A and B are shown apart, each in its own frame.
Chain A
């Protein structure tokens, strides 16, 4: 069963479409990285899936139900950008309010994490470091024992050490099983390590989605003679990588022409190339659905 399914999903703010014609399936237990420049529609998509806003057109279903409905809400956790917490409230108070608001609550998750991070329960949220605040917000989300965990730019404002600590906690939660994760990020480095699926958005449209293995296998860097036409089944995604006749291409059939030297591109190269393309002329817009 797909944990998230969107069909022709669109959301408009005034005259501007933040998200348009989005068809996406997120399989169970996937860890999905959501990337794209500012204004690409990442936050809009996460807010639609969380049920915090309604679609303008199309549909979105979460765990087979309507986002934000009482049937779905207990199974979905959402951590907003910069993990907003009431600054003057104490850690203990925030945890107890969160516990009271949820039908399912595993206090041990919070207690264990606080102890590990050496966060004093009597501290005010405003006194926590960025890393501690992010980790505390993650612990509150995981205490729900959610089936779907949504995180909006969870590591964007963290220093490298805090970022690593956060991702360690997140991946350990995934290893425990039972949770599907969708998180947006600007950092492609983290993606390859932590995610198994990828969704690339640009100007409100889907540019690329699928399992990371399939996406990498579906692309190649071709090096060959300048006057030679591209092999069959290849579509140019990125131009000359360096000096010489080089193309980053999407491949639908294996390249067998010996005139072309075939290299494996990195995930960064693929993502950056797709982001640089004009969404209107995007060749592999619907290459595959996650």
Chain B
């Protein structure tokens, strides 16, 4: 089950932070169709926040069609992302980490690295279309 957390310095409202986390977890494939979200009481007891905030976030997720509430049972995810599995994403990420390390050693600054990455990504997606 996903553990929700809060960043009190972010300036983003508590309820939106909860919505974003669930949305992102679905996109990344961490949460899949049928997975249960923590109960309101579990979230409240962990984060020390107002229960209405959690209810509001869950209602928003239901409104977006991302989750469905079953009275007396809990709230469940209704969608599975088509994104690659977390394992595949983790492998891709570590490839990128190694590359960033080499680029750093070669003396590239952040801007140049991002620029290089962007141009490679653009070429690749053009290649995929063609």
Q: Which residue from chain B places its CB closest to the CB of A29 in the assembled complex?
A: B52
Stretch at the interface among A39-47, A93-101, A102-110, A168-176: A168-176
Given known contacts A193-B8, A266-B11, is B40 in contact with A175 (CB within 8 Å)? yes
Cα(A143)–Cα(B49), bound, Å: 21
**Mask for A156-192, Cβ within 8 A of B = 1, else 0?**
0000000010011011101110000000000001001
Q: Which residues of A contact B128 (CB under 8 A)?
A: none
B:34-65 near A, CB below 8 Å: 40-41, 44-53
The answer to whether A172 touches B45 (Cβ under 8 A) is yes
Q: Which residues of A contact B11 (CB under 8 A)?
A: 266
Given known contacts A176-B41, A192-B14, A193-B8, is B52 in contact with A171 (CB within 8 Å)? no
Pick from B6, B8, B14, B41: contact of A175, CB below 8 A: B41
Given known contacts A172-B41, A172-B44, A174-B44, is B50 in contact with A189 (CB within 8 Å)? no
Does A4 have its Cβ within 8 Å of any Cβ on chain B? no
Q: Which residues of B contact A194 (CB under 8 A)?
A: 48-50
Q: Which residues of A contact B46 (CB under 8 A)?
A: 168
The answer to whether A196 touches B44 (Cβ under 8 A) is no
CB distance from A265 to the nearest CB of B (A): 11
CB distance from B88 to the nearest CB of A (A): 36
Q: Which residue from chain B places its CB closest to the CB of A181 in the assembled complex?
A: B50
CB distance from B66 to the nearest CB of A (A): 22
Pick from A164, A171, A176, A266: contact of B50, CB below 8 A: A171
Cα(A189)–Cα(B73), bound, Å: 33
CB distance from A107 to the nearest CB of B (A): 21
Cα(A248)–Cα(B109), bound, Å: 40
Pick from B14, B40, B41, B45: contact of A193, CB below 8 A: B14
Does A31 have its Cβ within 8 Å of any Cβ on chain B? yes
Cα(A139)–Cα(B6), bound, Å: 26
Cα(A171)–Cα(B11), bound, Å: 22
Q: Which residue from chain A places its CB closest to the CB of B46 in the assembled complex?
A: A168
Pick from A164, A167, A171: contact of B51, CB below 8 A: A171
Q: Which residues of A contact B53 (CB under 8 A)?
A: 193, 196
Does A195 have its Cβ within 8 Å of any Cβ on chain B? yes
Q: Which residue from chain A places its CB closest to the CB of B43 in the assembled complex?
A: A175
Cα(A272)–Cα(B45), bound, Å: 29
CB distance from B60 to the nearest CB of A (A): 13
Q: Which residue from chain B places its CB closest to the CB of A266 in the assembled complex?
A: B11
Q: Which residues of A contact B51 (CB under 8 A)?
A: 171, 174-175
Given known contacts A189-B8, A266-B11, is B50 in contact with A174 (CB within 8 Å)? yes
Q: Which residues of B contact A196 (CB under 8 A)?
A: 50, 52-53
CB distance from B18 to the nearest CB of A (A): 12
Pick from A176, A193, A266: contact of B49, CB below 8 A: A193
The answer to whether A171 touches B49 (Cβ under 8 A) is yes
CB distance from B20 to the nearest CB of A (A): 16
Cα(A31)–Cα(B50), bound, Å: 8
Interface residues of B (CB under 8 A from A): 6, 8, 11, 14, 40-41, 44-53
Per CB-CB distance, the 5 closest pairs between chain A and chain B, nearest first, are A167-B48, A175-B51, A175-B41, A168-B48, A172-B45
Beyond the given pairs A164-B48, A167-B48, A193-B6, 20 more chain A to chain B contacts, judged by CB atoms under 8 angstroms and listed by A's residue number, are A31-B50, A168-B46, A171-B44, A171-B48, A171-B49, A171-B50, A171-B51, A172-B41, A174-B50, A175-B40, A175-B44, A175-B45, A175-B51, A193-B47, A193-B53, A194-B48, A194-B50, A196-B50, A196-B53, A266-B11
Q: What would 8 A/B residue contacts be, using CB atoms closer than 8 Å?
A: A168-B47, A168-B48, A171-B51, A174-B44, A175-B44, A175-B45, A176-B41, A193-B50
